[in-house]
């Protein structure tokens, strides 16, 4: 009877070690993905700010050929902003425009 408990105990220890290593590896992957998402978010913010700065006087928007492309790019950024960044992007934008 003792042998069965020892085998179960050893199996449990080995299983716990394996699970720990798997979880540790997953946490590192999550960290890497979080860094990627934050960088991507900052790139989109920068692109949006640059795009609005460039078309500050609506010159591109009013041109037929360029305006169509500009509106498509602008719509893609707004769609991305609404789906992925949610309200954080808008809040950050308001803070930047207020000077805080």
φ, ψ of residue 57 in degrees (nearest 5): -105, 10
pLDDT of residue 100: 43
**pTM beyond 0.85:** no
DSSP 70: H
Domain residue spans of the chain: 2-98
pLDDT of residue 64: 63
Alpha-carbon gap, residue 36 to 46, rounded angstroms: 15
DSSP 62: H
pLDDT in tens, the chain (100 residues): 789 999 999 999 999 999 999 999 999 999 998 898 888 878 877 877 777 777 676 666 566 666 677 777 777 777 777 766 655 544 555 555 555 4
pLDDT of residue 72: 77
């Amino acid at each position: 009877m003792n042998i069965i408990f020892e085998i179960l105990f050893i199996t449990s220890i080995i299983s716990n070690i394996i699970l720990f290593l798997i979880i540790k590896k997953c946490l590192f992957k999550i960290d890497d993905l979080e860094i990627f998402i934050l960088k991507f978010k900052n790139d989109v913010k920068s692109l949006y700010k640059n795009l609005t700065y460039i078309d500050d006087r609506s010159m591109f928007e009013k041109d037929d050929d360029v305006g169509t492309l500009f509106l498509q790019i602008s719509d893609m950024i707004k769609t991305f902003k609404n789906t992925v960044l949610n309200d954080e992007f808008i809040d950050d934008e308001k803070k930047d425009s207020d000077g805080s």
